[in-house]
Amino acid sequence: MRARKRWDDLEPRTRRLIVVAGAIDGALRIAALIDLARRPASEVRGSKAGWAVAVALVNSLGAVPVAYFAWGRRRPRNPAHDLPSGLSSVSA
């Protein structure tokens, strides 16, 4: 069995990659949690609490926050889409 490498044994490029990946993962988690806190429950697919627990606690290398942004959010209703064709909500 191979011995585990310590941080000091890693090449500088590998260390940078780990730090950058961790920063991206952290930023995605923070962005997802802020969006989840601000978004009404009617615009979230599933439980807001369930998403929050998954985003905050599951070690996913960014997959859970990306899944929330891709599939966990419903599109907010846009009143402009409800207008008859040819009409615009912006006056000329």
Q: What global pTM score does this model have?
A: 0.71
What are 41-67's pLDDT values in tens digits? 999 999 999 999 999 998 877 889 999
Record the tokens describing residue 19, joined without a space.
């730090």
DSSP 61: T
More confident residue, 31 or 61: 31
- pLDDT for residue 16: 97
Q: Would you state the torsion angle of the CA atoms of residues 19, 22, 28, 33, taken in this order, to the nearest 10 degrees? A: -130
Which candidate, 78, 79, 39, 42, places its Cα nearest to that of 55? Answer: 39
- Read off the pLDDT of each residue in 20-41 and give the average, rounded to a whole number: 94
